[in-house]
Structure 1
Amino acid sequence: MITNKLKKSTLVKSIALASTLLCSVATQAAEQVTIGYQGMYNPMKYAIDTKLFEEKTGYEIKWRKFDSGAKAITAMAAGAVDMTVAGSSPIASAASKGIEMELIWIMENIADAEALVVKDGSGISSPSDLKGKKIAVPFVSTTHFHMLFALEQFGLSEKDLKLINMQPNAIMAAWLRGDIDGAFIWDPALGKIKQDGSVLITSKQLGSWGKPTFDGMIASKAFTAENEEFVVKFLSTLASVDSEYVAGRESMTAESPMAKSVAKVVGGDPEGVVAAMKLYEFLDFDGQLSCQWLGCGAEGGATKALKSTSEFLLKEKKITELQPDYSMYVNPTFAEKAKASL
């Protein structure tokens, strides 16, 4: 009798333990996230290398590197990533296609970090010299958008030259072979081709003409709805490393831990990282939430940028339709809560 009771007691405990383990496994599975990133030089790479995001959020994070924002958007649309970095042009394209995502953070104002560089000896010294030349650019990227905008401002069209769709690594290889006359690209490729090329125009100048570009963190709406606490902690961590960089920007050297981490994650050398990161503008919470960027709904800068970019992409037949309201793809709520949590 006692033996039977002991057996029953042991069985009950075993079932309870199994149930606890199953719940634990289920919880662990729920605390996983896949996040995409690209090769831009920014403080986020330091947090990736040091596993700061995992430490602060408690989530297991699978990081996926993409060569372009277009590929990152495709992965998000397929449900392969929960959050990802992309440029404003592919984000605008995604919004115009009605993909269920939202912009939650401005990774960086691109400014001088993207530029149209022409190869020494190509015979290009002014915009008019672009006629008949081969210029490489990743299609549906921020540089593609600015390349088309630049041509418009120069009084040229795509028919006046040959635009070639190439990813950054392919651009560097084509440049070395002498297959192209120029490229509109970002670092680390930008720094490499500048070594035997000259800058014709940068995104900062084109932005001052009314078409600014930026890199942003976007997230699946389904994911943010179920993981608000994670998103808030993630943005708090991102803001902290951005702030750390901005505070020490002038004193950062190739020996600085952040420079080494960024070079390790992206590729390239720490010296190049130091120079390249100075070309970007990184925003604090007040900047993020200002009317210039995520704030002010339909009148906010990010919303207006997505709308104007989409209008340009439609004109160039890169998308087929526009959304009536782009503010539904810009959500400052998580940044607001991250700021309030400080």
Structure 2
Amino acid sequence: MSTRNRKTFLITIIVIAALATFLVYQNRSVQPQKANLQTNQADVVIAYQTGVDPSKVAQVNGDYEKDSQHNINWKKFDSGSDVVNALASGDVVIGNIGSSPFAAAASRNLPIEAFLITAKLGGSEALVVRNAAKINQASDLIGKTIAVPFVSTTHYSLLSALKHWNITENQLKIVNLRPPEITAAWERGDIDAAYVWEPALSKAKATGHVLVDSKQVGEWGAPTYDLWVVRKDFAEKNPEFLKSFVQTTLKQIDAYNADPKAFVENQNNIEKIAQLTGSDQKDIPLLLAGNDYLNAQQQTLVLSGEFAKNIFDTATFLKTQGKVDQVKADYKENVNAHFIQP
């Protein structure tokens, strides 16, 4: 190759390299958000359970990811105690639990806070008795075997109902089973009754009937809630994600509250909730109607007001039952209503 040709070749190589560098830089500067979302941003790991509520539609739709511009790794859990353990270990940063396991976790000084109420529980959690057990009134429970996940909202509701009926725990047998285990025990005929949620609730109701539900127990003075809670360290660093998460949830709650009939008549909504919860589609309208879903104003009012006292009362009751070792003087530090404001 001549000296002139060699110079021409080198110049060409330099120009091509410079052009390639320019194009790469331009591509990065035009699409920073997309690149960050796909490569630099760790997934937000969230624990959910199978309770029936309107926000399950948003979860199936991928609305939480779209609205927040974050990847989310959803992990399914069968009980609140399992979610609490995952939060404690850091395996998840946000979790869906009931007010009873929340009270127990906060009493142990786990660094978590409730930031959103999914539902004030009613007919979606119930004490179902086996038809063959011939339990027609509360006194018929004496001597029977009842299954419930320990330190769950249903456990708290069961103990509260027994107290209301003046039945002591030593007058019957209470066994600690998770919902899938309850279904298996029910099918084997090992238990006479179960206080549980979906999908185990519907499966038990197929050969049983409801003796009492959490709406009635709440009216007796022991209300329970389904909550979203977050690790405090994550909340401090990611307030915008939590605000987005709350708004996505409230959007579905508002859609349901605006017209419950239209919401449940939309078969897509029913199918999506059934997909995540494992509930029978025909049961979902009734289960949705059994709970109260609070709008933004109601959320702020409850979380800023009576909620901490409700958690204190729950923890106090759990201590009398030997389910927690201590009760804190106040639970306000475990409640945060700030993320409800957009």
TM-score by length of 1: 0.89
Residues 98-137 of structure 1 correspond to what in structure 2 (within 5 A)? 98-137=109-148
Task: Say yes or no: does 1:294 pair with 2:303.
Answer: yes
List per-residue Cα deviations over 1:2-32 (Å, max 9, x = no partner). 8698799689879979998999876654352
List per-residue Cα deviations over 1:102-151 (Å, max 9, x = no partner). 10000001022211111112132222221111101011100001111122
**Pair 284,25 (structure 1): closer, same or farther in 2 beyond 3 Å:** same
- Decide which moves more: 63-72 or 156-165: 156-165
Which residue does the alignment assign to 2:279? 268
Structure 2: distance between partners of 1:24 and 1:169: 40
Structure 2: distance between partners of 1:157 and 1:67: 28
Q: Secondary structure at the match of 2:113?
A: strand
Question: Which residue, out of 171, 180, 188, partners 1:169?
Answer: 180
Structure 2: distance between partners of 1:161 and 1:209: 21
Structure 1: distance between partners of 2:20 and 2:59: 45
Which residue does the alignment assign to 2:98? 87
Residues 143-154 of structure 1 correspond to what in structure 2 (within 5 A)? 143-154=154-165
Gaps of at least 5 residues in structure 2 are 1-6
Question: Which residue, out of 309, 312, 315, partners 2:317?
Answer: 312
Structure 2: distance between partners of 1:76 and 1:25: 29
Task: Say yes or no: does 1:46 pair with 2:51.
Answer: no
**How many residues are aligned here?**
331
Contact 1:254 1:271 in 2 (8 A): no
**Pair 74,145 (structure 1): closer, same or farther in 2 beyond 3 Å:** same
Question: Which residue, out of 316, 323, 329, partners 1:324?
Answer: 329
Contact 2:37 2:69 in 1 (8 A): no
Structure with larger Rg = 2
Q: Secondary structure at the match of 1:234?
A: helix
Question: Which residue, out of 97, 101, 112, partners 2:108?
Answer: 97
Which residue does the alignment assign to 1:220? 231
Structure 1: distance between partners of 2:200 and 2:25: 57
Structure 1 residue 173 displacement after superposition: 2.0
Contact 2:52 2:124 in 1 (8 A): no
Structure 1 residue 163 displacement after superposition: 0.5
Identity of aligned residues (%): 34
Q: Secondary structure at the match of 2:82?
A: helix
List per-residue Cα deviations over 1:174-196 (Å, max 9, x = no partner). 21221110011112222222222
Which residue does the alignment assign to 2:74? 63
Structure 1: distance between partners of 2:217 and 2:275: 31
Task: Say yes or no: does 1:190 pair with 2:201.
Answer: yes
Q: Secondary structure at the match of 1:217?
A: strand
List per-residue Cα deviations over 1:50-105 (Å, max 9, x = no partner). 10111111000000111011100110010011111100000001100111111000
Which residue does the alignment assign to 1:205? 216
Residues 229-248 of structure 1 correspond to what in structure 2 (within 5 A)? 229-248=240-259
Structure 1: distance between partners of 2:67 and 2:36: 21
**Pair 24,285 (structure 1): closer, same or farther in 2 beyond 3 Å:** closer
TM-score by length of 2: 0.89
Structure 2: distance between partners of 1:8 and 1:196: 74
Structure 1 residue 155 displacement after superposition: 1.7
Which residue does the alignment assign to 2:44? 33
Q: Secondary structure at the match of 1:313?
A: helix
Task: Say yes or no: does 1:159 pair with 2:166.
Answer: no
Structure 1: distance between partners of 2:259 and 2:154: 29
Amino acid across the alignment from 2:303: L
- Decide which moves more: 112-121 or 11-20: 11-20
Structure 2: distance between partners of 1:18 and 1:198: 63
Contact 1:43 1:242 in 2 (8 A): yes
Structure 1 residue 203 displacement after superposition: 1.2
Structure 1 residue 207 displacement after superposition: 1.0
